[in-house]
Each structure stands twice: as structure tokens, then as C-alpha cells.
Copies of this chain bind each other. A is one copy, B any other.
């Protein structure tokens, strides 16, 4: 699915793929392991993922990396807080594989927000989606064990468990690679 089809399906069915969009969209191919936005940079872009896997991570006080999110085709990704408030990012955006993306810029979106119903619908739905997703993840950390969260992943996002190295999944679950090994043995 590309951005135009996403907008037709989820934002406004009156918009038809091929119609002009009220903001600029570039298309990029990004080599494997590229850091798109690093810690401390201001995020100027948001990406719609056509192919590949992206991840957002942060560094904890103790120097440990934590993975906040993985992204798959058909999803937007960005250092989203920094994209919204244009302050330095405390997360890093990186692609794990070669990736194909459509690129939106902060500048072009802000210009479109002034007058475009479609741009505001898209921006609203994206913000609402990420609010719900963040809230759900926070709630899971408060209420579920690492083992329960791993089982949720296995059932809810099997593609993630198949395609992402186990050490990185451990960083997403907030446990050591050894703990995740024990969890996997206990389950199987």
C-alpha cells in the first residue's frame, strides 16, 4: 500500500489515488542500517513505509538502548515528538533493512494545515493513532509481565518476531536477551 491508497482507505474516500495531494511527497530508497534521524537532531520529516523495517530507539540514563517501536510497510514513522515541536529529538530513527519510503516534510505539512481539510484529517488521524498506540504500550508495561508481552507479540505481530533479531526484541520488551531466551524456552 502507498500513501495515496492509505489516504483513500483511511482518511477520505473522496480522495482518489492519482489526485494531487496538498503537500509534497518524495520517494526515496534508503540503504540498510541508515540512521534517518539521530539523537539531538530536529526531525524535519515523516515517512510512509512502502518496503522494509524501521525502528525507533532511545538511550536510557544507564546507557542501555531501548527499542520504542518497530514499523512495517503501510505505517508512518518519524521522531514524532520532535517532528511536532521542532525540538531536538531524544529518539533515533533507523532502518533495519533497505527501505522504500514516501517522505513528507514538516514545512510542507504546516503550509497545507493552514487551508487543507485533507491534510488536517490525515494529521489528526495520525496523531490519534500514535496516541492510542503509545497509551496501549504504556498500559502493557504497567499491567503485564515480560512473558505476557512476548506472547502478545507472537500472536499479534508474528511478522515482527520472525523478521527481527532476538536481541532487538528483548530491547523492545525491556528485558535482557537471557531473560527472553528463558521466556521462549518456558513457552515452547
Query: A149 an interface residue at 8 Å Cβ cutoff?
Result: no
Residue of A134, A135, A139 contacting most chain B CB atoms (<10 Å): A135
Q: How many copies does the complex hold?
A: 2
Once the chains bind, are B113 and A124 in contact (CB under 8 Å)? yes
| Chain B residues in 8 Å Cβ range of A128 | 84, 123, 127
Contact between chains at B121 and A81 (CB < 8 Å)? no
11 contacts between A and B (CB under 8 A): A58-B142, A61-B143, A90-B139, A115-B117, A120-B121, A120-B124, A123-B128, A131-B131, A134-B135, A134-B138, A138-B138
Q: Which residues of chain A have a CB within 8 Å of any CB of chain B? A: 58, 60-61, 66, 80-81, 84-85, 90, 113, 115-117, 120-121, 123-124, 127-128, 130-132, 134-136, 138-139, 142-143
